[in-house]
Amino acid sequence: NLAMKRAMRTQLRKMRDAVKSGDAELAATEFRVTVKKLDRAGARKVIHRNAAARIKSRLSARIKALKQA
């Protein structure tokens, strides 16, 4: 569980850095990997499924705003 949580947090950090850099292409690829890690963590009860969904929704909104700008 700890290793999965650490990997998830690392991927979230990469995702946020990609969004901050302003590179929509990189952010989109990182988003796909992040969603996979979040779904797996939610399915294995490392984090709550609704928490995973909430994080995915917020990241998706950031990417959408990045593409609009």
The total number of residues shown for the chain amounts to 69
Residue 69's pLDDT is 77
Q: What does the alpha-carbon distance between residue 47 and residue 42 come to, in Å, rounded to a whole number?
A: 5
Dihedral over Cα of 54, 58, 63, 67: its sign = positive
Confidence label for 1 from pLDDT (cuts 50, 70 and 90): very high
Q: Tens digits of per-residue pLDDT, 22-68? A: 999 999 999 999 999 999 999 999 999 999 999 999 999 999 999 99
The three-point CA angle 23-29-31 to 5° equals 95
- Amino acid 14 reads K
Predicted TM-score (pTM) of this structure: 0.90
